[in-house]
Chain A
């Protein structure tokens, strides 16, 4: 019987072609969108984790409440001891102290007078110690446009666009004007080692990167740091474990002390929770949307097919085929259509996704003024899920569509068959 049904689908293109096309298109979009979401949103989450939020982040309670103001007067102190403790208690994370600061970059002329000046947000990170993974984590070496990597204290990196606006070049000196941890004015001279382009608007707008010890010296933050980031050694964010670690850490802290350290997982930080949640749930949304949309189309296609095959169903019922059996054979046909459409759609979706997996589409222009860290390009990421995810809407929609459309079979009156089949 199955062979008979498949032959029918093969011979009668109008029975199979439209549903297969509908399923293939839907599945292709579902696979592509899933790869896109995994790629773009996943990259966004990881980018934010690496640059700003970590997989977990430790700050003082007061710093956490005013984080957007980069309040270094509320920074963590005795960071070396805290970092050691964290490394011992949570060895699956790599811990990195960072100081975020704001200020002005002042570029002098040959007479020492201000040639140009611009506001900056900076980061002091561990650039010089051998065990630091920060250079690789932030992809600094590959992001250098002109000049070279920081190699000794007193050197700094500036965003390429920012340096051009200021007219400062590698080898030139400039002054960072900022505020110390204790509220005094700070002036610190740096030599520009090189310029950077991270490829995202928020980082490239006006940033300065210096070694954390220079930042400590400049901002009078001895053994202090604004934040301590923890990144899983695997490189991938594990929300469940991150929340567990944060809960364990915070459980031992004094709730009343504003300067006591507090740990937040990535999802507990501004906007990231929603982003991670959307990323995780997106597959479910995609599947649900495509099931409903395709089922509606296929339901209609099934109704039209049912009208066209009215005579066939009639004669089959007259010959003694039971209504249940006839209904089941329609579902078998839909499974075949769903499978075929899903295979074609998955292949097309993977192909389309593979085209955007490398360089992707440059969206730097769209991200101008964005405060959030977004990748500079829309890139897909093909994961094992993409090989099967399309089969869920592909099969379910055809089966549901056919089940709805086929209900008419049960309304058919056998007593009218002779009359109907005379037509």
Chain B
């Protein structure tokens, strides 16, 4: 195994039972991601990108092959170990933000730190730092229904980033946003990637996201169709 790799996937196959037969969502995938990458899994619906994101996020296990994430073999993790990996090392950003609607912005961002049992003073500092990264320090007491879609997604980014995860997994993060907000969100993520060296892995078919990626892994019918690095990548879009 490559010790520099944050994600290493070897001959990974994932299939699901469908009646008496089975459906193969991922077939013989080989990939390696290093720390600090800003990479996307690109492909149409049904290409297997969310399935792969699930496995990398320790939400699912491979049928065969190996997936190592942050030096942990996903296939051999117990449910509790998988939860601990997600809690300590991974951040998630969802298409629909999935904020806790009844809680304030501060409390939404604070929640992952509560799971980590970080003390109150430290929590407050970390939450305020995360909100500063996304430019929402003035919305601390607001609740999600009072925010715009772009602001909600920025809160979701702050929530994913607040514990300084090694890897952030984002599933179609701009699907519900207009172009201006999408660019704003993506610029925020690029900035965090560069400043905090956090690895970002996207699942997307949105051109706006694709335009920001440094590495593009194209999936088609559960297989890696192309894996390319962007030459002359400029941080400011």
Which residues of chain A have a CB within 8 Å of any CB of chain B? 1, 4, 7-8, 11-12, 15, 311-312, 314-323, 325, 414-415, 417-419, 421-423
Contacts and interface: CB of A to CB of B under 8 A. Distances in A.
A319 B111 contact: yes
Contacts of A325: 115
Nearest to A2: B114
Contacts of B95: 421-422
A6 to B, nearest CB: 12
Nearest to B58: A414
Binding site of A, secondary structure by majority: helix, strand, loop or mixed?
Answer: helix
Contacts of B159: 319
Interface residues of B, number: 34
Given A320-B83, A320-B84, A421-B94, A4 B107 contact: yes
Contacts of A417: 54, 59
Given A414-B82, A417-B59, A423-B96, 13 more contacts: A4-B107, A8-B103, A314-B98, A315-B92, A315-B98, A316-B111, A320-B90, A320-B115, A321-B87, A414-B79, A418-B94, A418-B171, A422-B172
Given A418-B54, A418-B59, A419-B50, A322 B83 contact: yes
Contacts of A318: 57, 59, 86, 92, 94
A415 B60 CA distance: 5
B28 to A, nearest CB: 20
A322 B79 CA distance: 8
Contacts of B110: 4
20 contacts: A4-B107, A7-B103, A11-B103, A11-B143, A12-B102, A311-B98, A312-B100, A315-B92, A318-B57, A319-B92, A319-B111, A319-B112, A320-B85, A321-B87, A321-B115, A418-B50, A418-B59, A419-B50, A421-B96, A422-B172
A204 B5 CA distance: 97
A342 B60 CA distance: 43
B53 interface: yes
B80 interface: yes
A323 B98 CA distance: 18
A42 B100 CA distance: 53
A323 B111 contact: no
Contacts of A415: 54, 59-60
B74 to A, nearest CB: 12
B37 interface: no
B88 interface: yes
B169 to A, nearest CB: 9
Contacts of A419: 50
A317 B86 CA distance: 9
Count chain A CB atoms within 10 A of each CB in B54, B57, B102, B110 and give the residue with the most: B102
A423 B96 CA distance: 7
A251 B79 CA distance: 69
The 7 closest A-B pairs by CB, nearest first: A320-B87, A320-B86, A415-B60, A12-B102, A11-B102, A315-B98, A414-B59
Contacts of B102: 8, 11-12, 15
B92 A422 contact: no
A323 B114 CA distance: 15
B52 to A, nearest CB: 11
A353 to B, nearest CB: 36
Contact of B88 (A15, A316, A320): A320
Contacts of A15: 102
Nearest to B16: A415
Interface in B75-123: 79-80, 82-88, 90, 92, 94-96, 98, 100, 102-103, 107, 110-112, 114-115
A421 B94 CA distance: 7
